[in-house]
Amino acid sequence: MLRPSSLPPKSLDIKALSITQCLAKTYSDNQQHYAGRNVVNHCHIVGEVARALMLRMPDALKKELFPYGSELIAACHDLGKISPTFQKKIHDALHRSIPELAQVNASLEKKWGGHAGVSLIAASDLAVGKFIPEILGQHHGYLPNVAGLVNDAVYGGRAWQQQREQLILELKKLLNCDFPSINTPEQALIIAGLTTVSDWIGSSSLFDNPANDWKPLIHLALDNAGFIAPQIIPNLRFSDIFNFAPKNSQSTFFHHVTQSGVYILEAPMGIGKTEAALYAAYQLLSKRDATGIYFALPTQLTSNKIHERVNAFLAKILEPTSGHQNALLLHSNAWLKRELAVEGNPNGSWFDQSKRGILAPFAVGTIDQALMAVMNVKHGFVRTFGLAGKVVILDEVHSYDTYTGELIDELVSTLKKLHCTVIILSATLTKERRETLLDHPTQNPHYPLISAKPNIGNLQELDVGALDAHTVTLSCCQRDEMAIDEALARAESGQQVLWIENTVAQAQAIFRQLSAIDVSIECGLLHSRFLKVDREKNEQKWVTIYGKDNPRARQATGRILVGTQVLEQSLDIDADFLVSRFAPTDFLFQRIGRLWRHDNERPRDAKREAWLLTPDLKLAIDDCTLFGDSAKVYKPYVLCRSLAVWQTVQTVVLPQQIREFIEATYSPSVEQGNMLRYQRELERERDKLKQLASIGLSKAGQTLPESASTRYSEQDSVQVLLLRGYQLGNDVTEMTLLNGDKLRLPRGVKASDKKQWRELAATILSNVVNVSIYHAPTATTMKDLEWLREFVYLGKPEFGESLLRVALVDEGGDIKSLSGGVACEAYELRYDERIGYCATKKRDSTFNTNKEDRK
């Protein structure tokens, strides 16, 4: 809220410019600036772009979401440019002296969000409904704070407001329409998205010169931006796309996905849920009942894997002449997988730019990109607009916590109102979770199960018939030494053993024990605390060995692969024998699903068997610290409830008993003693997470940055760049990477050679590891890292310290500060390409933490 003294005095009589005198744009040619289109002209262009954009949408989508007259809202987005402060600013930039504006202070408009704030206040004074002023005010991504501001005092008085009203009358005449009624917040969001996207396109260089006729350029601008409907090959069978006949569960599923709604496929790992979802999407696309696909996954790694499969799918369903042959990959490190493109680059895409990716017809990414469509984040409504009408596939929904789960519930609810088809894939959902997602009570306890809730029609719960039953032998083991002996014996007999821990430190400790034993087997380690370049190399090696159709490698020797949760869902791993630290029931099923996953040839004595490393239940209830670091990753109540289910079980039949075990773990229970205390702790934690999620969802507060968290973590993490050494020069800095490679960083390369800059930046970020902030080297000042600023984001200069930590690794693996001194006061830090990033607490340190990294 502005102080009255900061406002233009009411007595100041500012003569208004006419709407044709008010400029909207400038443009440059050979560094010379020119007056661009006036406000009437630019607003008319944006309105026509919005109209043309809607014409390219399916009829059902237009009818439900974009009422006639939506183009007028888009056209009026720059209503606030008819204001003395904006006109003063734009004419000053052209070195023009306008007598009417001589007394105007252009810098004042920063205090009310610029011309967008004027649009909001000016429209609020007109009878245009509740939502339209907000749409106009937030077309730059956020809602300006104009609380307490008065139109007359701030924006030029009655004369300027009359010109703004004149602009609206002129646009109504030019577009031959009036403002529509907007009935719901969801409709307001997607029209806000339409407005902003139309403004982006209508502001492209095609429309710069006001002397050029713009009307023939509207459809060209949309084509150039990529808003061209994909050409789908009709009448393809499932086997035409995937080269095998559908299973009963797959065909039952896609035969019931016939319209927008919510559809859940619960089935075990490896049954082909992905193919079932994609073929359902194909059917809707071929009938033009969907505008595209967004495939959302829990992690960047799973996104990368599915991205390859979706591209193979698109290659089968799209005509060779169709655009959009490849799906965009959307997550914070996606650009490491491709070379960034910029507008105007013939090798790039308009959608490649920040915030635009989800507008593309086909995209794969993390769930975070979709969740921002319902969060109060900058340009969140652009993502809402981008998802409207699409098939949105939410994979591995069972893997999210309460915080993200609350956001997902809101996302699913919103997508139903946006004419979307929501496909939810999961191996392990509880009845309560399924009912929340469907917003409907359920009855069928069968597993696998299809739940189909179309927007028009009743809920159907469909059995998919019996699946082949596989019996897994189970043993609960309370001594790590026994499990190590068993794993070694299995590996020495030629088996491929998988050992999954709940924390990185646990996995590293077990790997060290196994590696120290002199046996003729190979040991590997996979977790998240490797440099990206080392992690990719390790994953490629072990997925190849533990994958399918690789008998020669599997038969060469027995092996033990140790890892964390990255092994339970992100990688296609097939083990002969499993050892797992105890975890909640749904996670155990994910891990057991890695046993005998493919039809690989196995040693004669191999059995489908898993050993679970557990404490005694009664003792663990009395003292939950007996779960070790696992109790810092998973809640003690869930661990105890899970152990009560598994402790006496000697075999489990998959997939038939999955539902039974899940419900036995998570169904409501009356507790007492320590279990009651653990239960209440869990309930308090869930309540807290729900409240935190509601802050991100609330539209009443201040717009959050796009970095707002879609995941909850009690610990902050930072990126650490590890180097062998570096040498500063006047024009070039030379970095030595851990593998010995030299990397030369020329000054000013970003301006002179974008391709080289991208390659250098990608290489730098490939040598970064994410660690908990308390395990990281001490922060470096941004001044000391000035040589890196051109290639990575260091943070805001006013904060002084760099967000990126940089440290040196000596030949022995010890991590040192950039000056060669102690890197961290509380921990000894090391890096090894086989073990990864290690943090060992110093004996004399008073630093204390009860947290530990997962994955």
pLDDT tens, residue by residue, 811-833: 999 999 998 999 999 999 999 99
**Ranges 107-116, 551-560, 637-646, 761-770: which has the least confidence:** 107-116
Q: How many other CB atoms sit within 10 Å of the CB of residue 379?
A: 23
Instruction: Judge contact between 78 and 119, C-beta under 8 A.
Output: yes
Summarised one tens digit per residue, pLDDT across range 370-393 is: 998 998 888 889 999 999 999 999
Q: What is the mean pLDDT of residues 384-410?
A: 90
Cα torsion through 669, 673, 676, 681, rounded to 10:
-150
Q: From the DSSP assignment, how many helices (H) and strands (E) are in the chain?
A: 31, 26
Coil, helix or strand for 226? coil
**Ranges 171-180, 332-341, 405-414, 421-430: which has the least confidence:** 332-341
Q: What backbone phi and psi angles, to 5 degrees, belong to 823?
A: -85, -35
* Burial label, 5 (beta-carbon count in 10 A; 0-12, 13-18, 19+): exposed
Percentage of the residues of the chain whose pLDDT score is greater than 70: 91
Q: Residue 96's Cα: distance from chain center in Å?
A: 46
Q: What is the mean pLDDT of the chain?
A: 88
Tokens of 277: 């979802």
Instruction: Judge contact between 24 and 208, C-beta under 8 A.
Output: no
- On the question of pLDDT at 352 being above 80, the answer is no
Q: How many other CB atoms sit within 10 Å of the CB of residue 333?
A: 16
294-326: string of b/e by CB count within 10 Å (b at 16+)?
bbbbbbbbbbbbbbebbeebbeebbeeebbbeb
Tokens of 333: 């490190």
Coil, helix or strand for 746? strand
Give the per-residue pLDDT at 129: 85
Query: Is residue 655 reached through a cis peptide bond, with omega within 30 degrees of 0 on the bond before it?
Result: yes
- On the question of pLDDT at 699 being above 90, the answer is no
Of 720, 721, 722, 742, the C-alpha closest to 732 is 742
Give the per-residue pLDDT at 369: 87
Percentage of the residues of the chain whose pLDDT score is greater than 90: 61
Say whether 472-654 and 4-225 share the same fold: no
Q: What backbone phi and psi angles, to 5 degrees, belong to 550?
A: -140, 60
DSSP assigned state of 319: -
Q: Band of the pLDDT at 131, cuts 50, 70, 90? A: very high
Summarised one tens digit per residue, pLDDT across range 527-536 is: 999 999 999 8
- CATH no. for 472-654: 3.40.50.300
Summarised one tens digit per residue, pLDDT across range 500-525 is: 999 999 999 999 999 998 778 999 99
- On the question of pLDDT at 246 being above 80, the answer is yes
- d(CA 41, CA 230) in angstroms, rounded, equals 31
Q: What is the mean pLDDT of residues 394-409?
A: 86
Residue that wins the pLDDT comparison between 572 and 266: 266
Q: What is the mean pLDDT of residues 620-634?
A: 95
Q: What backbone phi and psi angles, to 5 degrees, belong to 383?
A: -70, -35
Give the residue ranges of DSSP H helices in 246-363.
Answer: 248-256, 273-286, 300-317
For the entire predicted model, the pTM comes to: 0.89
- On the question of pLDDT at 265 being above 90, the answer is yes
Of 354, 395, 374, the C-alpha closest to 264 is 395
- d(CA 794, CA 780) in angstroms, rounded, equals 10
Give the per-residue pLDDT at 832: 94
- On the question of pLDDT at 846 being above 90, the answer is no
Q: What is the mean pLDDT of residues 602-610?
A: 94
Q: What is the mean pLDDT of residues 465-490?
A: 94
Tokens of 528: 């998240």
Q: What is the mean pLDDT of residues 51-74?
A: 93
Where do the domains of the chain lie?
4-225, 238-463, 472-654, 717-841
| Residue with the two structure tokens 């998919």 | 464
Q: What is the mean pLDDT of residues 597-603?
A: 88
**Ranges 164-168, 367-371, 723-727, 808-812: which has the least confidence:** 367-371
Q: Band of the pLDDT at 693, cuts 50, 70, 90? A: confident
Q: Band of the pLDDT at 482, cuts 50, 70, 90? A: very high
Q: How many other CB atoms sit within 10 Å of the CB of residue 543?
A: 18
- On the question of pLDDT at 342 being above 50, the answer is no
Give the per-residue pLDDT at 847: 46
112-150: string of b/e by CB count within 10 Å (b at 16+)?
bbbbbbbbbbbbbebebbebbbbbbbbbbbbbbbbeebe
Q: What is the side-by-side strand order in the sheet with 261-266? A: 328-330, 362-366, 293-297, 391-394, 421-426, 261-266, 449-454, 460-463
Q: Band of the pLDDT at 277, cuts 50, 70, 90? A: very high
Tokens of 288: 């033009």
CATH topology (fold) of 4-225: Hypothetical protein af1432 (1.10.3210)
Give the per-residue pLDDT at 550: 80
Q: What is the mean pLDDT of residues 336-356?
A: 47
Of 321, 319, 323, 324, the C-alpha closest to 235 is 319
Q: Band of the pLDDT at 711, cuts 50, 70, 90? A: low
DSSP assigned state of 178: -
- On the question of pLDDT at 844 being above 70, the answer is no
Summarised one tens digit per residue, pLDDT across range 740-773 is: 999 999 998 888 888 898 889 889 989 999 999 9
Q: What is the mean pLDDT of residues 271-292?
A: 95
Q: What is the mean pLDDT of residues 346-353?
A: 51
Length of the chain: 855
Coil, helix or strand for 237? coil
Tokens of 93: 């930039």
Q: Write down the architecture of domain 238-463 according to CATH.
A: 3-Layer(aba) Sandwich (3.40)
- d(CA 640, CA 604) in angstroms, rounded, equals 36
Give the per-residue pLDDT at 148: 61
Give the per-residue pLDDT at 334: 59
Q: Band of the pLDDT at 10, cuts 50, 70, 90? A: very low
Q: Residue 635's Cα: distance from chain center in Å?
A: 25
**Ranges 148-157, 455-464, 803-812: which has the least confidence:** 148-157
Summarised one tens digit per residue, pLDDT across range 633-666 is: 999 999 999 999 999 999 999 999 999 999 999 9
Residue that wins the pLDDT comparison between 109 and 768: 768
The residues, any chain, with a CB within 8 Å of residue 114's CB and separated by 6 or more, are 80, 86, 140, 144
- On the question of pLDDT at 28 being above 70, the answer is yes
- On the question of pLDDT at 316 being above 70, the answer is yes
- On the question of pLDDT at 845 being above 70, the answer is no
